[in-house]
Amino acid sequence: MQTVTFDELESALGDSNAPVTAAEAHGALCGALAAVSLYGAADWIEELVAGAEGEDELRSRNLLETLYGETHDALQSGQMEFEPLLPHDDTPLDQRVMALAAWCNGFLFGLGGGLPQAGNWPDAVQEIVRDFAEIGRASVGDEETEDTNETSYVELVEYLRASAQLAYDELAEHRAGGGAA
C-alpha cells in the first residue's frame, strides 16, 4: 500500500523545482523498474531533485525514497498490489486524465531507457507500449456524458495498473540478465 499521496509528491517536486510532474515521475520510476535491473532509489531521486537545496531537498528525498520502496515492493510482490500514483478521485476529471497521460509518457520514458532494442521486447510489452503511447494522448471527450467519461477513466486506470505489473513481470528475465534486451 502506498503511503505517499499524489498531492504530497506534486508539492515536494514543485518545492524542489523538479522538471516533471508527480504522475510523470512515478510513471518513469515504474518503467525504469520494469526495464533496468539495478535502478536504485538514488538514481531516480538524483534525476528528479538534482540541484535542490536545503529543507525542501531533504523533504523531497525522504518522500521519494519512501515512494521508491513502496513502488518497488508492490511490483516485485507479484500480488497485484501495484497502483499508479494519480490524483485523488475528487480532482476534476480533466486534471486526472492529464495526469494519466503524463504517467503513461513517464512510463514509456523510463522503460525506453532500459530497453534499447524494441524488436526484442516480449509481445505483451510491445502491446503495452503501443497502448500507453495512445493513452499518453488522452483527453476528456466533450461528446460523452460525465458518467461515461468517469467510467472510461476508471477502466484506463485499471488497465495501467495491470499492464505496468505485466510489463514488470514479462521483463523479469531481461532484468536478471543485467538489463540487455
Please, what sign has the CA dihedral across residues 62, 88, 157, 116?
negative
pTM of whole model > 0.85? yes
Number of domains present in the structure of the chain:
1
Predicted pLDDT of residue 180: 45
Where on the phi/psi map is residue 9: left (φ > 0), alpha (ψ -120 to 50), or beta? alpha
Q: Which three cell numbers stand for residue 127?
A: 502491446
Residue 1 within a domain: no
What CA–CA distance (Å, rounded) separates 129 from 105?
10
CB 161 within 8 A of CB 84: yes
pLDDT of residue 61: 85
Closest CA to 17 of 54, 67, 65: 54
Cα–Cα distance measured from residue 2 to residue 54, given in angstroms and rounded to the nearest whole number: 26
Find the domain containing 19 and state its range: 6-176
Specify the CATH number for the domain of residue 32: 1.20.120.740
CA distance 13 to 19: 8
Along the 181 residues of the chain, how does pLDDT read in single tens digits? 789 999 999 998 888 888 899 999 999 999 999 998 888 999 899 888 876 666 666 778 889 999 999 999 999 997 888 999 999 999 999 999 999 999 999 999 999 876 666 667 889 999 999 999 999 998 776 666 778 889 999 999 999 999 999 999 999 988 887 544 4
- How much is the pLDDT for 158? 97
Cell of 129: 507500449
